[in-house]
Amino acid sequence: MSLFLCLGDMMGEAKLKRSATQRFIEQFPLCALCGGECASTTREHMPPKSLFDKSHRPDKLVMPACAVCNGGTSKADLTAAMVSRWNYNSPHQEREDHSRLANQVRIQAPELIDEWTKKDGFDRKGALERLRRYGVEVPDDASLIRVGPHTIRQLNIFAHKAALCLHFEHFKKPLSNSGRVFCSLEN
C-alpha cells in the first residue's frame, strides 16, 4: 500500500469523525439570526422540539447560529410551544407536554406566568363574548388567560426567527441587516 493511499484513508477517517454540526458550520460560517454579523457556532432548529409531542420534531429547517442568538431565542421558543398547547380538549400527551412546559416557564420566564394568571380587572364574561363574537367556540367552563406585552413580545421574536429561518432555507445565506426590520433578541 502506498503512503499516499494510507494518508488518504486517514484523512477520510478524520473527515468522518467531524460532527454534523462542525460540517454544517464549515458550510455556513455566518449566523443567520444576526444577519451574518457573528460567526456561527451552533445549528438552530426551527420549529423547536418543544412544539411537538414528546419533542419529536421533523428535522427539516436548520440554520447556522451564533451561541448568543441561539440562546437568545429560547424564551420565545418556549412561549410559542406553551401557547400552541392551550387547548381545552387536548389529548393526554399534549397535557403532559403542557405541564412540562409550564414548569419550564415558571423557571425561565416567571413574568409570563404573572401575566397569564393576573385576574385584576379581568372581565371573564366580556372576554368570552368577544371570543364568541369572532367565531371562537369557547366552552363556558374553559380557563381564560390574559395575553399581554410579555407574551406578544416573545411571539414576535419567534415569528421573526421563523421568517429568518425560511429565508435561510430558501437562499442558503443570512438575510442582510441593511434594510430589514430589526427585532432585538434580548429578553
Query: Which has the higher per-residue pLDDT, 94 or 77?
Result: 77
Q: What is this structure's pTM?
A: 0.79
- 101-108 mean pLDDT: 94
The one-letter amino acid code at 23 reads R
In this predicted structure, the answer to whether residue 5 has a pLDDT above a threshold of 70 is: no
Pick the range with the lowest mean pLDDT from 48-57, 65-74, 162-171. 48-57
The one-letter amino acid code at 12 reads G
- What would the pLDDT profile of 23-50 be if each residue is shown by its tens digit? 999 999 999 999 999 999 999 988 887 7
Beta carbons within 8 Å of 24's beta carbon, 6+ residues apart: 43, 62, 64
Largest CA distance in the chain: 83
Sort 70 into a burial class: Cβ within 10 Å, 0-12 / 13-18 / 19+. Answer: buried
In this predicted structure, the answer to whether residue 4 has a pLDDT above a threshold of 80 is: no
Torsion, Cα of 135, 138, 140, 146 (10° steps): -110
Give the chain's radius of gyration (CA, Å).
22
Model pLDDT, residue 13: 55
Helix (H) or strand (E) holding 170: helix 149-171
Model pLDDT, residue 68: 94
Task: Encode burial over 111-142: b for 16+ CB neighbours within 10 A, e otherwise.
Answer: ebbebbeeeeeeeeeeebeeeeeeeeeeeeee
Beta carbons within 8 Å of 66's beta carbon, 6+ residues apart: 31, 33, 34, 38, 39, 40, 41, 42
Torsion, Cα of 32, 36, 38, 43 (10° steps): 20
Shortest CA distance to 124 belongs to which of 149, 151, 144, 147? 144
Model pLDDT, residue 69: 93
Pick the range with the lowest mean pLDDT from 109-113, 121-125, 134-138, 180-184. 180-184
In this predicted structure, the answer to whether residue 12 has a pLDDT above a threshold of 70 is: no
Model pLDDT, residue 162: 93
